[in-house]
Chain A
Amino acid sequence: MFALTLLNSLEGFFFGSGKAHVVTGVALIILAGLAIALWRMDRRLSRLEAESKESHR
């Protein structure tokens, strides 16, 4: 029930006409996507760093 209410209010937030919230949604998706990509790259670099330290020893 709560989830449904939340979903409804989300729909209202993003798809109510005359508002720019859909732009907010689009911007959030892009920023979140880029953040996730950077996060994953960061993690992989940490792994590579660890590997390179190991091989230097």
Chain B
Amino acid sequence: MNGAWNWIWKGGGIVLLAYVILRGFSTPLQPGLVTATPSQLKLGMQTVTLTAAGQPFGKEGASLSEFTVVLRAGDQLLKTETQEVQPHGITVAVNVPGVLPSRALDAFVFTPSAGTLFLGNACFVEEAAKGDIPASYVANKPDESTPQLGFSFPFQPNIIESIRNLLWHVPMWFSMFFIMGLGFVASLGQLRTGKVMWDLRAEAAVRTGLLFGLLGLATGSLWARWTWGAWWVSDPQLNGALVTVLLYSGYLILRSAMGDDDRVGRLAAVYNVFAFVMLVILLMVLPRYTESLHPGKDGNPGFNKYDLDNSLRAVFYPAVIGWGSLCYWMYTLRLRMNRIAYSLLSR
């Protein structure tokens, strides 16, 4: 029975991870607008090119009449003339009036099959005076098509293709907290029973958790450099992660400072329980008093759609379970190693 169960969760984890990696790299990204050139518009007639990332939203030489681009200033729409459609770009001619409700223009691209693409603050018109758009420049809101994109990941500004990191980076933290929670329970068991097997469990859990924590930090740092332009930003998630790694490094330092003192198990358990509780407090305190750039938090509402997006969810949940089972697997290996080391030592 036990053997069969072992096969199921280990093999299941591997299968899930294989599915996640295949799906994660092969699923196309939904199209989304990235830049507008030029971003500074003059008054009068000119052309603007909007470039897009993700899967193509138009074919080469597609029928121009099917694509409509409007620019929005304040709550009024400015009409444009579509001139060229490419798989990842669309060029329009626009006549910019001298008066606009706002100097910043948002761009909307209405496509026949990819829905409506949006780029906030796409262009700026420095010279425009404030006022209503003259009637002859105003566009009517075109009909929206329902996107028919198949299984695809949502487009997020700034994040774009790197949304796939969600399947690698985030499960590192989930796994770490899962295994640190296990370590906390093991430490409680150590304190209650005083048995060394609980201590071996706690140590294996903390070491495995630290590995995943460090991987989370390293990958997060690389992703942050890509998205936010800095290797490290002050952000509750990042600070919390760093403190977690520091706290548990303290656990290992305490253990190694104790050497082969026979009280090491109990003392380490005491520290682990205290550290875990402080960690929970810290994770409660930090987000309340520091602003976050992280998805789904106040500073960046961009990822709120995550909870609703079924395609991402269909890969993200298996990723969490797959990495979690891999993490647990590594924990059991380390635990077995700890047990052998202990039995050798005590013989």
Which residues of A are interface residues toward B (Cβ below 8 A)?
Answer: 14-15, 17-20, 22-23, 25-27, 29-30, 33-34, 37-38, 41, 44-45, 48, 51-52, 55
| A20 surroundings in chain B (CB, below 8 A) | 25, 161-162, 164
**Chain A to chain B contacts (Cβ below 8 Å), 14 pairs:** A15-B226, A18-B34, A22-B162, A23-B25, A23-B161, A23-B165, A26-B219, A34-B211, A44-B341, A45-B337, A45-B340, A51-B344, A52-B340, A52-B344
Interface string of B79-114 (1 = CB under 8 A from A): 000000000000000000000000000000000000
- Which bracket fits the contact residues of B? 20 to 34
Q: Is B215 in contact with chain A by the CB < 8 A criterion?
A: yes
Q: Is B172 in contact with chain A by the CB < 8 A criterion?
A: yes
Contacts A29-B219, A30-B168; is A19 near B340 (CB within 8 Å)? no
Which residues of B are interface residues toward A (Cβ below 8 A)?
Answer: 21, 25, 34, 53, 160-162, 164-165, 168-169, 172, 211, 214-215, 218-219, 222-223, 225-226, 326, 330, 333-334, 337, 340-341, 344, 347
For the residues of B in contact with A, the DSSP-based class is: helix
Per a CB cutoff under 8 Å, which of B168, B211, B326, B344 touches A26?
A: B168
**In the complex, what distance in Å separates the CA atom of A7 from the CA atom of B87?**
32
Inter-chain contact B53/A22, CB cutoff 8 Å: no
| Shortest Cβ distance from residue B145 to the other chain A in the assembled complex, whole angstroms | 24
**In the complex, what distance in Å separates the CA atom of A37 from the CA atom of B327?**
12
Per a CB cutoff under 8 Å, which of B161, B218, B219 touches A18?
A: B161
Inter-chain contact A25/B161, CB cutoff 8 Å: no
B54 to chain A: closest residue by CB:
A18
In the complex, the number of residue pairs spanning A and B with C-beta atoms less than 8 Å apart equals 73
**In the complex, what distance in Å separates the CA atom of A20 from the CA atom of B160?**
8
Q: Which of A19, A33, A38, A55 has the most CB of B within 10 A?
A: A33
| B326 surroundings in chain A (CB, below 8 A) | 34
| A22 surroundings in chain B (CB, below 8 A) | 161-162, 165, 222-223, 226
Inter-chain contact A15/B225, CB cutoff 8 Å: yes
Q: Which of A25, A26, A37 has the most CB of B within 10 A?
A: A26
| A19 surroundings in chain B (CB, below 8 A) | 161
Inter-chain contact A18/B211, CB cutoff 8 Å: no
**In the complex, what distance in Å separates the CA atom of A12 from the CA atom of B34?**
18
| A48 surroundings in chain B (CB, below 8 A) | 337, 340-341, 344
Inter-chain contact A30/B172, CB cutoff 8 Å: yes
Per a CB cutoff under 8 Å, which of A26, A34, A38, A44 touches B165?
A: A26
| B341 surroundings in chain A (CB, below 8 A) | 44, 48
